[in-house]
Amino acid sequence: ATGLLPSIRRSISQSRTKVQLVLPHRLVQDTEPLSKLYQGVKTDDFGFPLSYRFMRDGVFRHTVDIAARDGAGRPQVFHIYQGAPGQIRGITPFAPILRVLRQYDQLADATLTAALIQSIFAATVESEAPTDALLQALQDPTEQAASDSSPAETLFGFKQAWYNQTKIDLGVGGRIAHLFPGESLKMNRSEHPNDTYEAFTKFLLREIAACLGMTVETLTGDYTGATYSSVRMSTAEKWPITLSRRANICGRFLQHVYEAWLEEEIERGTIPFPGGPRAFRAQRAEACSADWRGPPKPQADDLKSAKAHEIYQRIGVVSDEMICNDMGADWEDVYDQRARERKKRADLGLPEVGPILPDPVGDKLVTEEEK
């Protein structure tokens, strides 16, 4: 993700901080080793980005260098990607599977073309006669009159006379086709997609899903044959990839926007900060520290997941914070909400929610074997 964080005052918005996404190709590929400019990114001796060179829209296509942060340390440009040490520009996750995607597209097109051809040609006549003579014999008198070509007196003229009296029409029910001796009428049926098509497509889709960091079921939306154990295992294997991308891409993007917005609000006095803007800039890292959470981990069976949390908490190996993290919530927010609800129930005279009692029916559903 590449973009700018300009400060623009508009009457329709309360905040001057804006987020302007920029197409990656606008970040030029210029390289000047003497000035430590590599692929449009100017760095210091240790690889820390100092400025970025963008191409402006317009007739003359001018370039402009924008500092990564202003003099006060406020972020002005965000260039977020996940790569190897020393890598300057990001690479799409689709890069390793571009060939596989092309193969999948070619397979689908070829299979569809073969199926259409076999559907169009419902029947074929196997004959030793020339193609022109045979096709003309299959035409009715009106079609023959409309044709520019005239029948020739050839060796197979007697076959043409035969077919002039015999019409093959598959669109009329109950018609019997009478062919010349030694010829046959073959009825064609579509044989595509065949038995190997599904197996081969699943093989290609598995490669694509593995590169994208998701399960095949999530990629295709087809959960045929999937069980609770298989879905849980595949999700557990891919979930660390999701957490890594969430922390290194989504989290960093939100952190840049949050820093720029928070500094503006402190300067305006909307959010009080001890010592004012100067103290904030001196303690920027501590003041802007944030933990960015996303949606909870997908669960194949909420009942079994809840019972697992209950058992883990009962034996003392997990805390409320861990359980809230699995559900995508903040444990402090949950505690505050529960306290407000308890106070509201007391004000309204509602009964308190008692402890969770054993549930034999639920325990049986969790422990029973999958069929």
- For residue 154, what pLDDT is reported? 45
Distances (CA, A) of 293 to 82, 98, 184, 297, 298: 18, 31, 71, 11, 14
Asked if 193 and 201 count as a contact pair (C-beta separation under 8 A), the reply is: no
* SS3 assignment for 264-282: HHHHHCCCCCCCHHHHHHH
Could you tell me how far CA 27 lies from the centroid of its own chain? 24
| Collapsed DSSP state (helix, strand, coil) of residue 318 | coil
* Residue that the structure tokens 């697992």 belong to: 308
363, two tokens:
């325990």
Asked if 81 and 90 count as a contact pair (C-beta separation under 8 A), the reply is: yes
In a 13 Å sphere around the CA of 322, the CA atoms on its Cβ side amount to: 10
Per-residue pLDDT tens listing for the chain (371 residues): 899 999 999 888 888 999 999 998 899 998 998 889 999 999 998 889 999 999 987 666 788 999 999 888 899 999 998 888 888 888 888 888 888 888 888 888 888 888 777 776 666 667 766 666 666 666 655 555 545 545 554 445 656 666 666 665 555 554 555 566 666 666 666 666 677 777 888 888 888 888 888 888 888 888 888 887 888 888 888 888 888 888 889 999 999 999 999 999 999 989 999 999 999 999 999 999 998 888 888 887 888 888 888 889 889 999 999 999 888 889 999 999 999 999 999 999 988 876 666 666 666 666 665 54
User: Structural domain boundaries of the chain?
Assistant: 2-79, 123-187, 236-300, 302-371
Asked if 334 and 324 count as a contact pair (C-beta separation under 8 A), the reply is: yes
Rounded to 5 degrees, φ, ψ at 359 are: -125, 90
114, two tokens:
């073969």
Asked if 256 and 5 count as a contact pair (C-beta separation under 8 A), the reply is: yes
CB neighbour class for 182 (10 Å; exposed up to 12, middle 13-18, buried from 19): exposed
- For residue 368, what pLDDT is reported? 61
Asked if 228 and 300 count as a contact pair (C-beta separation under 8 A), the reply is: yes
Residue 197 gets the label, from left (phi > 0), alpha (psi -120 to 50) or beta, of: alpha
Q: Which residues contact 251 (CB under 8 A, 6 or more apart)?
A: 292
Helix, strand, coil percentages (3-state) for the chain, rounded to 5, are 45, 10, 45
Cβ atoms within 10 Å of 254's Cβ, excluding its own: 13
Dihedral sign, Cα of residue 136, residue 138, residue 142, residue 146: negative
